[in-house]
Amino acid sequence: MTSRIFAYIPHKGGVVDDSAAELLAAAKKIDPAASPTAIVTGSIPELDAVCNTLCASYAEVWKVASDSLAYPNAELVRQALVKVLPAGSLVLLPHNHFGIDLGPGLSVKLNAAFVSDVVGIDGIDGTILKVVRQEFGGQVSAHVRCNISAGAVINVRPGAFKPADGGVAAGKVIDQPAQVGPLTAKRRYLTTIAPEAGDVDISKEPVLVSVGRGIGEKDNIAIAEELAEAMGAAVSCSRPVVDAKWLPKSRQVGSSGQTVKPKIYLACGISGSFQHLAGLKGNPFIVAINKNPKAPIFQVADVGIVTDMLEFLPELTEKVREAKKVTA
């Protein structure tokens, strides 16, 4: 194992992203003896705070400071990394909106392999890195071999690698500004627009009746609304329902939507993609209702019901109403 491992760490407002610890854990899976190097880009003074934080867990932190890197524009970050990274490096990135933007093109410019959305690492065999990916919405997994003889960019799924305990390092910061020089981009960041607030704030609801593609058509949303009303709950949804314009974006649970922390989460006709589950926090009691017994949601749910939600929900609504009458 001669390749040097780098972890590119995103940050915002001087605060290090959660991926810092996860990428460190992933690097240790590649090679338990490795001492991975954190690499960060940005502008001073935020970047100094970031480096200080990272020194507690990484033995070495490469600091690439430039005013043109103040906003993490993947095109500019790529130019900087291509100048700074040694040939043959293994570069770990989080597979989020930034890593998806940066990773594939970076691998081309480094003449390195690219392996995307890695959820497991089985180690190295010669010049072959053995990883695990998920395909078809998480319904099956795949063993994948990646030839790393010329280096590799490895996009790591957020949340897939549990941070290791301890391992405190007294890291040193190494400045890498001189090689970077002036950077210009053909894509220029303008601004960030916050989402519009919805009629219901699903992030504060204790019980959510959440619907996915299995709802079938817009008129069926009423079936979920009736159950929610009977339960004193709110209706949320997964991405396909918003894509189809059946519910507004403000009702979407997931990494590109809202983060929710209910006590009870009824996932109805939701397959359970990792992007959706990323928006579900606080260890709720999850009930999965899905026709497809292979749906990944059944792996994370507490209780599963393999049935057609369109038939089951009205039945449940009736029963909830009856139960409330008895209690009253």
Is residue 162 a contact residue for other proteins (CB under 8 A)?
no
Query: Are the CB atoms for 43 and 65 separated by under 8 Å?
Result: yes
Specify the residue for token string 């040694």.
86
Q: Which of 34, 49, 70, 185 binds other proteins (CB under 8 A)?
A: 185
Residue 243 Cβ vs other proteins, minimum distance, rounded to whole Å: 4
Residue 55 Cβ vs other proteins, minimum distance, rounded to whole Å: 26
Find all residues with CB under 8 Å of 320, minimum gap 6, and list them: 227, 230, 231
Is residue 232 a contact residue for other proteins (CB under 8 A)?
yes
CA distance 20 to 6: 11
Instruction: List the structure tokens of 169.
Output: 């390092």
Query: Are the CB atoms for 119 and 134 separated by under 8 Å?
Result: yes
Residues 198-217 that bind other proteins (CB under 8 A): 206-207, 213
Is residue 76 a contact residue for other proteins (CB under 8 A)?
no
Residues 87-126 that bind other proteins (CB under 8 A): 95-97, 100-109, 113-117
Residues 2-61 that bind other proteins (CB under 8 A): none
Nearer to other proteins, 87 or 141 (CB): 141
Residue 253 Cβ vs other proteins, minimum distance, rounded to whole Å: 11
Is residue 159 a contact residue for other proteins (CB under 8 A)?
no
Calculate the alpha carbon distances from 117 to 1, 68, 153, 160, 163 in Å.
Answer: 23, 28, 11, 10, 17
Using alpha carbons, select from 92, 88, 85, 93 the residue that is nearest to residue 62: 85
Q: Which of 56, 181, 204, 302 binds other proteins (CB under 8 A)?
A: 302
Is residue 187 a contact residue for other proteins (CB under 8 A)?
yes
The identity of residue 263, as a single letter, is K
Q: Which of 136, 172, 222, 282 binds other proteins (CB under 8 A)?
A: 136
Using alpha carbons, select from 126, 162, 164, 168 the residue that is nearest to residue 147: 126
Residue 190 Cβ vs other proteins, minimum distance, rounded to whole Å: 4
Q: Which of 237, 257, 260, 276 binds other proteins (CB under 8 A)?
A: 257
| Cβ atoms within 10 Å of 168's Cβ, excluding its own | 8
Question: How many binding residues for other proteins (CB under 8 A)?
Answer: 100
